Structure 1
Amino acid sequence: MSRLEPAELPDDLLTPEAVADPDGAAAVLRAHDPVHWSPTHRAWLVTRFDDVVAAFKNPALSSDRVRPLMSARDKPSGDASQKMLGLISEWMVVTDPPAHTRLRRLAGAAFKQQQIAAMEERIQTLVDDLVDTFLASSSPARPTDLVAGVAYPLPAIVIAEMLGAPPEDRDRFRSWSDELALVAFGAGGDARPDRHERALRGLEEMAEYFRALVAHRRREPGGDMLSAMISGDDPSDGSGLSDDELVGMCALLLFAGHETTTNAIANAVRLLTADPELRDRVRDDPALVAPAVEEALRLVGPIKVLVRWVIEDHELRGRTIQAGERVYLVLCGANRDPERFADPDTVDLARSRATHIAFGRGVHACIGAQLARIETRIAVGTLLRRLPGLRVEGEPEYLPTIASRAQTSLPVVHDGVPASRP
């Protein structure tokens, strides 16, 4: 295979072409320069499956990537972007062991207490309620946005209920998540000068809200996840979560759980309805919904890139990765690596579900992966069953972000009379 010159390689993941087709850009890099230095992003782009999996376990690559960014920015401490990053820097997802180990243990125990698998009946009810409302506001032949109607509100409702927030506050959750999405996790393409100020206001309002909710649950524990985290103190070392840590955990669960699941549902619907034969096959056999969702997560997963900060020099495929640099783990490249997956660009419903890394791997694997899978599986299965002939109208438009694969909308139509809820 001929080696492309650096000038010919897709260096910028935020060009319109790369945003529209991240898999194509990643495929070129994976084939010709799988450990590629991008001057545009000032980061190494790693695109092969084995290299990305190894990176998850490499102690030279740190998840504590926000604090170094703050130090590198020539901004006063009162700057809105610095203050915003300061709040995010305490989140579990951007910490390393031992701090991460402690936070993860306490959050993981709370997830177990929530008995995520037992929530399926409630999530099914929520999905059917949203589909009922969606159908009432649409007609079969008129394109209607499935993101706004189903994929977007579902995870916000689920997270709000899990945290024990009053139902009337769900819209506030969604608003805060939207504001934070303007700048979080490598978002780009938003030129509005006030985007950091807006995100900071949203974060500060969110923090104030969760601080009050934490105080309430300390006084009056309930059966929600926040109460479970509050009661998770380890008597052997007294390492329970502080109020600040609880607020940060709630904010992380809200934002990460909302954005990731919305994108997973929307991307899966687009993929599975693009082939009518595949769509109908999955619709007619409920046992195929789970493997279909796993293939969607692999092929069009909600996260394109995970970022790591280099804290120790090391070699990778003959390249010297130096401390102080950044590494972009390009999941959308790794999950289509032909050295790992046979016919990597096709949907194979018999493929092993354990192979893809849409939710990461190792100590930083997504703690809410099980919940995201359940929500996506129930939403996709219900939509295919209740909306016969479901299909997407028009080409996708994706938000220009480094990290996420987020469609701005998903206009759909369907045929005939919708099926009723069970």
Structure 2
Amino acid sequence: MTVDLTAPAASADPYAVFRSLRDTDPVHWSEAHRAWLITRYDDVSDAFRNKAFSNDRVRPVLARRKEPSAASDVLGLLAGWMVVTDPPEHTRLRRLAAGAFKGQRIAVMGEQITAIVDRLLSAFLEGDGAQDLISEVAYPLPAIVIATMLGAPPADRDRFREWSDELALVAFGTGGAARADRHQRALRGLREMDAYFHTLVDHRRRALGDDMLSALMARDGDDLLSDDELVAMCALLLFAGHETTTNSIANATLALLRHPDQLDRLRADPDLIGPAVEELLRFDGPIKVLNRWVVAETEVRGKRISPGERVHLVLASANRDPMRFDDPDTLDLGRNPNPHIAFGKGIHACIGAQLARMETRIAVSRIVSRMPGLALAEEPVWKDVLASRAMDRLVVRHS
């Protein structure tokens, strides 16, 4: 048996597949993905500390490519992103970026994010009949927030969303017909984005503001981010923040609609939103899989894993592991403790997790409070992608 997580049935309900793997083959070699799938919580958690599993996973793939191609050009542009580096390079980049992601900097954005959410919801509520909550609310929100954080002109927000979509075709392992020209499309978007952010960085160098890009330019002793590193940080913030937050909001809303008792519970106790979002992230989070490149011989549950192989850490499976969570397939908004790993763990945990949590808390709480008649209008169709847990549309009625 080999598992393909981009098959339609696995995309629609990956948790049945994960349950089977955890029970029968928790360290599974998938021919479809040419990678090991690690599915139990303890094994995934340990893997984040295993130095045999490298996060520097783009450059080895790039080195194997002998002929120039759009795919090679895409990989070349991605290779400098902090999220695909290891220490000491990762340590330096994360240290220099940390100041821009300080808790107080994110916290003061709450009022601004609430205003953006309410503006989007007001427009949504003006519509009649069934509407797509993703395209009208969950999808535009993070692009607007990120553009605002970077000090980009409001008119450029649609471009941000387009670039994020093009890159997602490559980064999340799209299956089906979308594979055909995905590298060409991603390359066009990356080149446009690269040129745009270089222009924005140049402008900010000459006129610092109170935005996050200006904060990223801060010097730490004798060290600071180069222009190319700043551009890579902007691109990473846009891509990782947009896709992840869109999925978090959409998946959380769907989970509540499928569990009306928990939706009623949240409506009755709005202060539950904090632990509620943590449980919604555990129950059906935005990321299914994180990839690692094997750089040294290692062993997991008796399976020998060799250098040059790939490992997929299946976060979505780990977060439903009954050996770690009581009744893991039950949505319990008051779950405590809740040590989920929806945003990773350790030195590579998502640096923007606090922002994603805030956007999700605000969006979900406002959706719940402003749409008392919210109901699912049609069954969602899930995207056949490997890494993310994402719907094409979430069509709802609000009255």
Instruction: Name the TM-score, length of structure 2 as normaliser.
Output: 0.97
Taking the aligned partners of 2:114 and 2:216, their CA distance within structure 1 comes to 26
Taking the aligned partners of 2:97 and 2:307, their CA distance within structure 1 comes to 30
Counterpart mapping for 1:174-323 below 5 A: 174-191=161-178, 193-231=180-218, 233-235=219-221, 238-323=222-307
Of 37-46 and 113-122, the range deviating more from structure 2: 113-122
In structure 2, what residue type is equivalent to 1:64? D
Distance 1:281 1:113, change over 3 A: closer
Can you list the C-alpha shifts for 1:291-333, whole angstroms capped at 9, x where unaligned? 2211110011000000000000011111101011000000111
Can you list the C-alpha shifts for 1:355-387, whole angstroms capped at 9, x where unaligned? 000000000000111110110011011001101
Could you tell me which of 330, 335, 347 is aligned with 1:351? 335
Counterpart position of 2:50: 58
- 8 Å CA contact 1:114, 1:225 repeated in 2: no
Counterpart position of 2:33: 41
Taking the aligned partners of 1:22 and 1:109, their CA distance within structure 2 comes to 37
Q: Structure 1 segments of 4 or more deviating over 6 A? A: none
Helix, strand or coil: the match of 1:130? helix
Helix, strand or coil: the match of 2:344? coil
Taking the aligned partners of 1:118 and 1:53, their CA distance within structure 2 comes to 32
Of 101-110 and 300-309, the range deviating more from structure 2: 101-110
CA displacement at 1:351 relative to structure 2: 1.6
Distance 1:27 1:192, change over 3 A: closer
Taking the aligned partners of 1:43 and 1:192, their CA distance within structure 2 comes to 19
Matched, 1:104 2:102: no
Structural RMSD (CA)? 1.3
Counterpart mapping for 1:98-177 below 5 A: 98-112=88-102, 115-136=105-126, 138-139=127-128, 142-177=129-164
- 8 Å CA contact 1:113, 1:228 repeated in 2: no
Taking the aligned partners of 1:349 and 1:52, their CA distance within structure 2 comes to 24
CA displacement at 1:185 relative to structure 2: 3.4
- 8 Å CA contact 2:5, 2:14 repeated in 1: yes
Of 10-19 and 20-29, the range deviating more from structure 2: 10-19
- 8 Å CA contact 2:294, 2:306 repeated in 1: yes
- 8 Å CA contact 1:189, 1:401 repeated in 2: no
In structure 2, what residue type is equivalent to 1:120? G
Taking the aligned partners of 1:219 and 1:369, their CA distance within structure 2 comes to 30
Counterpart position of 2:22: 30
- 8 Å CA contact 1:257, 1:372 repeated in 2: yes
Counterpart position of 1:81: 71
In structure 2, what residue type is equivalent to 1:94? V
Of 255-264 and 392-401, the range deviating more from structure 2: 392-401
Can you list the C-alpha shifts for 1:28-66, whole angstroms capped at 9, x where unaligned? 001101011111211110000000000011111000001
Taking the aligned partners of 1:318 and 1:296, their CA distance within structure 2 comes to 33
In structure 2, what residue type is equivalent to 1:224? D
- 8 Å CA contact 1:291, 1:353 repeated in 2: no
Counterpart position of 2:313: 329
In structure 2, what residue type is equivalent to 1:307? N
Taking the aligned partners of 2:300 and 2:160, their CA distance within structure 1 comes to 41
Distance 1:191 1:347, change over 3 A: closer
Aligned residue pairs total 399
- 8 Å CA contact 1:173, 1:254 repeated in 2: yes
Taking the aligned partners of 1:28 and 1:110, their CA distance within structure 2 comes to 42
Taking the aligned partners of 2:92 and 2:338, their CA distance within structure 1 comes to 26
Can you list the C-alpha shifts for 1:149-173, whole angstroms capped at 9, x where unaligned? 1000000000001111011110110
Helix, strand or coil: the match of 2:172? helix
Helix, strand or coil: the match of 1:57? coil
Taking the aligned partners of 2:311 and 2:275, their CA distance within structure 1 comes to 31
- 8 Å CA contact 1:47, 1:331 repeated in 2: yes
Taking the aligned partners of 1:347 and 1:402, their CA distance within structure 2 comes to 24
Q: Report percent identity of matched pairs.
A: 62
- 8 Å CA contact 1:162, 1:225 repeated in 2: yes
Counterpart mapping for 1:380-391 below 5 A: 380-391=364-375
* Ranges in structure 2 where 5+ consecutive residues have no aligned partner: none
